[in-house]
Structure 1
Amino acid sequence: MRTVPRARGPSVRLKLTLSYAGFLMLAGALLLAAIGVFLLRQGWLQTNEQGVWRATPGTAFVRGFAPMAAVVMVFLLVFGLLGGWVLAGRMLAPLNRITHATRTAASGSLSHRIRLPGRQDEFRELADAFDAMLARLEAHVAEQQRFAANASHELRTPLAVSKSLLDVARADPGRATDPLIDRLHAVNTRAIDLTEALLLLSRAGGQSFTREDVDLSLVAEEATETLLPLAERQGVTLETDGDIAPATGSPALLLQLAVNLVHNAIVHNLPERGSVWVTTGVRPDTVVLTVENTGEPIAPDVVSTLTEPFQRGTERVRGDHAGAGLGLAIVETITRAHGGILTLTPRSAGGLRITVELPAGSQQLMAHR
């Protein structure tokens, strides 16, 4: 859902501080005015014909009333601002914890809980309701992931058996050429690819992997070497360049991410003389893997849907490598599981630029290279 941009206003803490200080100043002014009226009614302060206040001879101690009142007002102003700032901070501390938990949940982590301490009040009720909502969402997402994983496991065995039978039938030298067997073999292979993709998607979404130090530049090189024969068959030039990019995560999942990106860039390309550029880089706190390719122009509204499962950017796919439509969905899931950001940008000349930005890992990789 798109958010409407708004101009940044003063913080709630500042508003509460100013409100508290203003109320204290008003109360102080009313109190001083009441004291002045009291002194005037008692005859300790009198006015002359010009309406100027003056002290009576017997009440010389009230001559400093106005300067003292000004000092009191300044004190009340400073005390109100400092005290209001501290009190507002203490009152809003639970709200800050709730905001932090909300941002954590928005980033994809549903395991975080607020667990606000203290007695029952409005903030505690809000925090408990938010924790209950997160628990239900986490249980729902976990149930979906378990279903996908279990379904994938259950489908792998019969698909593998049918593939073996089709392979035996195709390899039988005594059989006549039967296009139906070849067609069934292609359909079976596609079903196996889809099952494996769903299994990988559920595994990445559940973040059930061990984190290790990974160099994205080596991952990119391995992915391009693996897919170089496919690029040569498709007539696509594949180039790799970049710096050492240390990250932390699953080497297998990050390799799958790079393979999916490069494969997608190869099969969605120009009919001839296409190009794919794979680069890695380092930023202050992150590392970046960029895969860019030539191809047909892609509308921005289409780009926003490419990471949805079973979506493809164009109807035409180079060769017989249409895939299961889960390539970029898997990339997004792996990126999110590693705390990264996936950005898809259409190129003005056609094709797509995909950038994966991940938190920087251990700098020890830099020393080893």
Structure 2
Amino acid sequence: MRLKLTLSYAGFLMLAGALLLVAVGVFLLRQGWLQTNESGAVRLTPGTLFVRDFAPTAAAVLVFLLVFGLLGGWGLAGRMLAPLDRITRATRTAAAGSLSHRIRLPGRRDEFRELADAFDTMLAQLEAHVAEQQRFAANASHELRTPLAISKTLLDVARADPHRDTGELVDRLHTVNTRAIDLTEALLLLSRAGRRSFTREDVDLSLVAEEAAETLHPLAENHGVTLETSGDIAPTSGSPALLLQLTTNLVHNAIVHNVPEEGPEEGSVRVHTGVRPGSVVLTVENTGERLTPQLVATLTEPFRRGSERVRTDQAGVGLGLAIVKTVTEAHGGTLTLTPRPAGGLRITVELPAASGG
């Protein structure tokens, strides 16, 4: 590219110089250097000799322009392409696995500066994504290894004691296996939502909220929690299955992470849908223990349940709110978690409104 720019610059300079010299030559000829005598015969004037002498000078000028164009063009092209070379080196560094490198191109803002800044932004996002995936893979490996290790231990104990009651062993193995299956299905759902490999349809978020609440109403009764739904029609666009999973996860968490069943107060969960300019909102609010903002900020991370919120009978697999966050982002929405002053949590999901909604 540098050679092409150099040749282009030198060629343009040569062309401009040649046109200028031709214009000078034509000007000299038109000034009457060719004249006629009284009989009408053409004769050469001393000016004609000047024109003949002009040709070698013009050639020398063109040679000078060629040399100047090549040398100057080479230096100018190198200076112009220096930012591109810096970006190329950064690209090769990133391709080798180093995502922490940044170009940080100095100077005024131009096309190269915008390209470098965009590349730095891409590297930062990619680095964060890779770190998140590595952390997620490590957590998933740990979570999946736990039920497998428990199953192995139970089987080893049964093998060592053949007279042991197999009914208890089968029940415990069934519980462990169910947890492993739930975790695997949650991981697959999280991966599907992250890839955004779903077909968009018109969805009324209020109907989705009512369906999730109706499905989980028996669970709320078992936990002594009052479940209420309200709100307006909230049309959005997305996957009905994923949005139902999102709402179900939110309501389920609100039920099981509520006030203790043996507590003096009765717990409650409120599900509300609403419409804002250009968006629809789903809010799930529940009573419960007081939560710190620091703890709330970590609840959407995979496998982060929060020790204060874990119930021994409904601990889950630690992916409920992580799935909610991924589904929300896949639909172009935002997720907000706010601790309630009196205890419990308020979760708001804001999604783009459907076209014409």
Computed over aligned residues only, the root mean square deviation of the Cα atoms, in angstroms, reads 3.2
Please show how residues 271-282 of structure 1 align to structure 2 within 5 Å: 271-272=260-261, 273-282=266-275
Equivalent position SS for 2:350:
strand
How far, CA to CA, are the matches of 1:142 and 1:252 in structure 2? Answer: 28
Q: Which residue among 185, 195, 205 is the counterpart of 1:216? A: 205
Offset of residue 125 of structure 1: 1.9
- How has the CA–CA distance of structure 1 residues 145 and 277 changed in structure 2, closer, same or farther, with 3 Å as cutoff? same
Equivalent position SS for 1:336:
helix
How far, CA to CA, are the matches of 1:129 and 1:329 in structure 2? Answer: 33
Match in the other structure for 1:350: 343
Match in the other structure for 2:295: 302
Q: Is the 8 A contact 1:213 1:362 kept in 2?
A: no
Q: Which residue among 228, 235, 258 is the counterpart of 2:217? A: 228
Q: Which runs of 5+ in 1 are unaligned?
A: 1-120, 167-174, 365-369
Aligned residue type for 2:343: G
Rg (Cα) greater in structure: 2
Greater shift after overlay, 224-233 or 257-266? Answer: 224-233
Please show how residues 254-269 of structure 1 align to structure 2 within 5 Å: 254-269=243-258
Is residue 123 of structure 1 aligned with residue 110 of structure 2? Answer: yes
Q: Which residue among 285, 301, 316 is the counterpart of 2:278? A: 285
Match in the other structure for 2:159: none
1:23-52, Cα deviation, whole Å (9 max, x unpaired):
xxxxxxxxxxxxxxxxxxxxxxxxxxxxxx
- State the aligned residue count: 226
Offset of residue 133 of structure 1: 5.0
Match in the other structure for 2:353: 360
Q: Which residue among 305, 322, 327 is the counterpart of 2:320? A: 327
How far, CA to CA, are the matches of 1:142 and 1:245 in structure 2? Answer: 35
Offset of residue 253 of structure 1: 0.9
Offset of residue 234 of structure 1: 1.3
Q: Which runs of 5+ in 2 are unaligned?
A: 1-107, 156-163
Q: Is the 8 A contact 1:216 1:246 kept in 2?
A: yes
Offset of residue 176 of structure 1: 4.8
Is residue 239 of structure 1 aligned with residue 232 of structure 2? Answer: no
Aligned residue type for 1:267: V
Percent identity over paired residues: 71
Please show how residues 24-173 of structure 1 align to structure 2 within 5 Å: 123-133=110-120, 141=129
Aligned residue type for 1:312: R
Equivalent position SS for 1:276:
strand
Offset of residue 320 of structure 1: 2.1
- How has the CA–CA distance of structure 1 residues 199 and 137 changed in structure 2, closer, same or farther, with 3 Å as cutoff? farther
With normalisation by structure 2, the TM-score equals 0.56
Aligned residue type for 1:125: F
